[in-house]
Amino acid sequence: MLTRKQHELLTFIDRHLKDTGFSPSFEEMKAALNLRSKSGIHRLISALEERGFLQRRHHRARALEVTRLPDDIVARDAAAAEAPIAGAGFSPTVIRGDFGSKLVGVRSANEAGSVQLPLYGRIAAGMPIEALRDTASHVDVPMAMLGTGDHFALEVDGESMRDAGIWDGDTVIIRRTDTAETGQIVVALVDEAEVTLKRLRRRGNSIALEPANSTFKTQIYPAAKVRVQGRLVGLLRRY
């Protein structure tokens, strides 16, 4: 039997892993459970580890793995999987739950549940996303990692988001959008010139682009100078 807080944390971690492909940060877990300190999160994670619900992959940033779930969460997920899906007769480029909409710019990869997304190159200063387009390059991505809408992939250049589990050379999966909530990791175009992958924070009429590495500084701009081009939804890494 889990305590209420243990159940809440396990549910949050499981949902975050399924939505983004990587585990949440301690700050995100603290905010989700409305706790005052990270020490409470450490105690909850340790308790879940001892009971066999979580496993930590040591020497890796933000590497939590859900090893089993309480019966009520398993039953909920099973019921959701068995629910009828609108839009029968979809092609391999259609994601279930999208009610017939297609992923723009996506090609079918195989019948094993993956698609090919356009890989636009390394995210770098001085280039808007449109300038990075290279339709000859694609990357295979599991369909389970994607939601609805138009997606593309970018290769990460640099270590400014390392503490968020995003390393130099990783491939990030981006859902194209021009809006984002505060706290989300986005691809932002600054002053129509510089593209960057950072966590977005709204501060009145300003926008802060926050790195996840203490050696980098948070940059604050007037809201009019920042244009969101996409939101992080997944990550791929080769070893």
On whether the CB atoms of residues 230 and 152 are closer than 8 A, the answer is yes
Question: Which DSSP category does 111 fall into?
Answer: S
**Looking at the DSSP assignment, which residues form a beta bridge with residue 189?**
195, 227
Q: What is the pLDDT of residue 21?
A: 75
Q: Show the 3-state SS of 137-149.
A: CEEEEEHHHCCCC
Q: Is there a single domain that holds both residue 120 and residue 68?
A: no
Q: Is 198 left (phi over 0), alpha (psi -120 to 50) or beta?
A: beta
Share of the chain above pLDDT 70, in %: 73
Which of 25, 198, 214, 225 is an active site residue?
198
113, 76: one domain: no
Name the more confident of 57 and 155: 155
Residue 24: per-residue pLDDT: 83
121 and 164 inside one domain: yes
Structural domain contains residue 98:
no
| 160 flagged as catalytic | yes
Which one from 160, 206, 214, 225 is the annotated catalytic residue?
Answer: 160
- φ, ψ for residue 176, nearest 5 deg: -70, 125
Q: Check pLDDT > 70 for residue 4.
A: yes
Q: Does 218 map to a domain? A: yes
* Arithmetic mean of pLDDT, 202-219: 91
Q: Mind listing the pLDDT tens digit for each residue in 74-84? A: 666 665 555 55
pLDDT digits (tens, 9 = 90+) for 17-47: 888 777 788 888 888 888 888 888 888 888 8
Quote the percentage of the chain above a pLDDT of 90.
Answer: 19
CA-to-CA distance for 154 and 193, rounded, in angstroms?
17
pLDDT of residue 118: 79
Report phi then psi at 208, rounded to 5.
-100, 130
Question: Quick check: is 185 in a domain?
Answer: yes
Residue 101's pLDDT is 39
* Residue 136 located in a structural domain: yes
Q: Which of 3-12, 95-104, 144-153 has the lowest mean pLDDT?
A: 95-104
Q: Are residues 130 and 212 in the same domain?
A: yes
State the average pLDDT for the chain.
Answer: 76
* 97: pLDDT strictly greater than 80: no
Residue 171: CB atoms within 10 Å: 17
Within this chain, do residues 41 and 77 fall inside the same structural domain, yes or no? yes
Structural domain that includes position 177: 107-236
d(CA 50, CA 150): 41
Instruction: Return d(Cα 52, Cα 50) in angstroms, integer.
Output: 6
Residues 114 and 224 in one domain: yes
| Sign for the pseudo-dihedral over CA of 127, 131, 137, 138 | positive
Please check whether residue 157 lies inside any domain of the structure.
Answer: yes
Residue 130 has a pLDDT of 53
Residues 78 and 186 in one domain: no
Last residue of a domain, one of 82, 115, 143: 82
Whether residue 208 is predicted with pLDDT greater than 90 in this model: the reply is yes
Last residue of a domain, one of 43, 66, 82: 82
Residues 72 and 157 placed together within one structural domain of the fold: no
User: In the prediction, which pLDDT does 64 show?
Assistant: 80
How many independent structural domains does the chain possess? Answer: 2
Active site residue 137: no
Asked whether residue 37 is domain-assigned, the answer is yes
Same domain, yes or no: 136 and 75: no
